[in-house]
Amino acid sequence: MDMPRNVFKQLLRQRRLQIGLFVGLADAYSMEILATAGFDWLVIDAEHAPNNPATVLAQLQAAAPYPAHLVVRPVNHDVALIKQYLDIGAQTLLVPMVETVAEARALVRAVRYPPQGIRGVATSVVRAAQWGGIKDYARHANDEICLIVQIESRQGLANLDAIMAVEGVDAAFIGPADLAASMGYLGESGHAEVQAAIEAALTRIEATGKAAGVFVTDPLLARHYRSCGASFIAAGGDTSLLRNAAVQLASSFQDNSQPFDDESDS
């Protein structure tokens, strides 16, 4: 069996537009629905959603037959947890709250086998290597792993150029909500100063020759961010989609202006 190629990583290098969705329901069945919906990439969120290696594994398995590329966002920078996500088959990680060059370098080492990194080797017992079935997995894994750092604070912005210069960092993703909070505008990611910071960050990332990404739910704003250099965009989250659709449906049937009761028999 040959080493699976990380097509998502290749498309990032080509700056091809890719539209994604954050997935937080922690359910394999709903993941399979989303994997067939036409998104280019899906982020299994283990930072804010109740995911762990077992639920992430089930979702990776559920989405495996479909073309959407799965990205895993761990809860933090824990090296052992990162190893587990890689071993169960994640090829791309989106790591939250990266603020310094030292953190970026440590993450690069965490996702790579020696001598470039410190990832533990156990190819005969891990799903990523098909339990030893993938020929020379350990030799080629480093080339196929994709590391995306999430920039979402003032400090991250201040160190952005140096972080992007770290070899092994493939892309950066801007998190507007936390960035707004860091800038003193909690809950106001649409504030003019926050928007200006996002635009500048996308331009700076793209200028380094690496891919820039951002979370944005407004298609018009997404097109603007695209013009600023964004090539991979997260257009929303599954939990919001479910709640908004449910609220809208319930409201449409509870509209008192058009009652369902047949009063003609009373």
Residues designated catalytic: 48
Report the C-alpha gap between 225 and 162 in whole angstroms. 22
Contact present, 168 and 174 (Cβ < 8 Å)? no
Q: Is residue 148 within 8 Å of residue 11, measured between CB atoms? A: no
Identify residue 33 by its one-letter amino acid code. I
For residues 86 and 114, give the distance between their C-alpha atoms in angstroms, rounded to a whole number. 15
CA–CA distances in Å: residue 24 to residues 45, 138, 242, 262? 5, 31, 11, 41
How far is the C-alpha of 173 from the C-alpha of 121, rounded, in Å?
Answer: 29
d(CA 111, CA 104): 11
Q: Where are the alpha helices (DSSP H) in 64-164?
A: 79-87, 101-110, 137-144, 154-158, 160-164
- Contact predicate 145/6, CB 8 Å: yes
